[in-house]
Structure 1
Amino acid sequence: MQRKCLICPPSVGALVLPVIYRAIKTHYPQLLLRNLPIGGAENQLSQFQTDLITDNMFCTGP
């Protein structure tokens, strides 16, 4: 079962979540980061929907 965590607006998530992801990935290698553009090409930078997904099957941490 996948779980999603929305932590901020899409425009902020596109900038902040990759940094958080790299820090967490060392302890939880099963994490996936998906950035999906939700607007046209001219607005992609300001309109990212960022999902941090974890698969509970492989989670061994807290």
Structure 2
Amino acid sequence: MKRVSTATAMVALSLVMAGCVTINIYFPAAAAEKAADRIIDEVWQLKPGAEAKEGESAK
């Protein structure tokens, strides 16, 4: 039976330990929903005269 070198064992242990790390990020649902609504409102909001400018550029 082959003996595992110390360096190989340390690398394997390091990989196993790195795989066990979990990063939890907490996003408050209410704040995320409010931000999403604000972004959607900004995207869908048309400025006065915006349709006329788009029509003129298409000519």
Q: Same fold (TM over 0.5)?
A: no
TM-score (norm 2): 0.24
TM-score (norm 1): 0.23
Instruction: Indicate the structure with greater helix content.
Output: 2
